[in-house]
Amino acid sequence: MSEKTAMSGTKATRLKDPEAIPFYRELIRGIGEDIKPLRTAVIHPVDKNSLAGAIEAARMGLMEPVLVGPEARIRKVADELEADLSAFELVNAEHSHESAKTGVALATDGKVGALMKGHIHTHELLAAVMAKSARLRTGRRISHVFLIDIPHENYSKPLFLSDAAVNIQPTLAHKRDITQNAIDLFRACREGTPKVAILSATEQVTEDILSTIHAAAISKMAERGVITGGIVDGPLAFDNAISRDAAKAKNIRSEVAGDADILIVPDIDSGNMLYKQMKYLSGYNAAGLVVGARVPIMLTSRAGDVAARVASAAIALLYARSREEETSW
């Protein structure tokens, strides 16, 4: 699809360029031309960011969007963006609840291979995904992963953060799935074997703080092969998970301490605050994906910009194709 076809003269191309972000640029350019775009239901794209993100992802060959929502509102936003929608399928739905239900039905029927959140509440979309009639559940708990792009002068690599958006107070069994989901996504992004820090307020195991006990148990599960594909350690406090100096000062001997790729937080409160601190005080950008369902779900904040949405599309494409390769063996 040509740039002109995807977004002829659009104002959205003047929004923040996803290729201006180092890791996202590397991720997107690492996708070969032989990988087909991922047919994706974009749920309720009735604001500029969500519609422009889908169109830009299509222009870059990451996605084949099916726009699901109130047609008049979608076309109005397209006019404001000066965007041409003639190349895209548009499925009319009167309101956000119907948009979610319709988009999920497309995934259930195999007509799309992914979902992308538009201008809709997370709980409204996930309620449709988790409905028994949707048949999108698997044997694993769904969870959300943020991929946070961090300047090299602050940290040597991007950070994967989970779960800051879906699981409110995860149990030990939930955290096992959250950790495995994050590892699987990291490996799908072709980043190798991740170092996974299970976070708590302290690196000491204490019965007074339940998350330290959970962290120790998750680490033991990884040691015994219940969790696979990553090097897992915990409990670790945030400072000694990402700072070698902090880990050394506390005499922590660990392959993960000071060099974590993935941060697993104790609950949604700590995770969501950590993500928003990184975004709003430190200015880091983040893509987001829900994994553990039969299809990947691109889920960023409703305030997320075009760059974050395009990066989410790249991650979803890599994840979906990775799963196809696994099932083809």
Strands (E) located in the chain: 38-43, 63-69, 89-92, 114-117, 143-149, 159-162, 195-199, 231-236, 262-264, 285-291, 297-298
Instruction: Give the angle subtended at the CA of 241 by the CAs of 236 and 245, to the nearest 5°.
Output: 115
Q: For the chain, what is the radius of gyration of the CA atoms?
A: 20
- pLDDT of 22 reads 60
Let me know: does 273 contact 258? Beta carbons within 8 Å: no
Global pTM exceeds 0.85:
yes
Give the C-alpha separation, 45 to 52, whole Å.
9
- pLDDT of 3 reads 37
- pLDDT of 4 reads 35
Give the C-alpha separation, 169 to 33, whole Å.
41
Give the C-alpha separation, 35 to 317, whole Å.
9
- pLDDT of 43 reads 98
Residue 38: which of 291, 290, 298 has the closest Cα? 298
- pLDDT of 17 reads 53
- pLDDT of 7 reads 43
- pLDDT of 280 reads 87
User: What is the residue-wise DSSP string for 13-37?
Assistant: GGS--GGGSHHHHHHHHTS-TTSPP
User: Please, what are the averages of pLDDT over each run of 10 residues along the chain (329 residues)?
Assistant: 38 43 68 83 96 94 96 97 96 96 97 96 95 93 93 87 96 98 93 95 97 98 98 97 95 96 98 93 88 94 78 92 71
